[in-house]
Amino acid sequence: MGDPNLDGQVDSADIVFLVNEALPDDKPILLPQNFANADLDGDIDVDQDDLDALVEMLLGLSTP
């Protein structure tokens, strides 16, 4: 988890991906695997909470 754009690493590109793909409600995640990786808190929805979780992960506030 934590790699929404599926490029093999968790970095700022994943934040950009979440902002572009997850936050606009009318723009669905492209693939189930994108969705699964983006849903960091596991509530079967990709939203601001998951973006916050990803930012925290990148800041080192939680272990991978």
Task: Name the site residues for Ca ion (rule: CB under 5 A).
Answer: 3, 5, 7, 14, 39, 41, 43, 45, 50
Q: How far is the CB of 60 from Ca ion (least distance, A)?
A: 16
Nearest to Ca ion of 21, 50 (CB atom): 50
We find the least distance from the C-beta atom of residue 35 to Ca ion, in angstroms, to be 9
Closest by Cα among 25, 28, 52 to 41:
52
Q: How far lies 61's CA from each of 11, 30, 48, 53, 58, in Å?
A: 14, 28, 17, 9, 8
At closest approach, how far in Å is the CB of 44 from Ca ion? 7
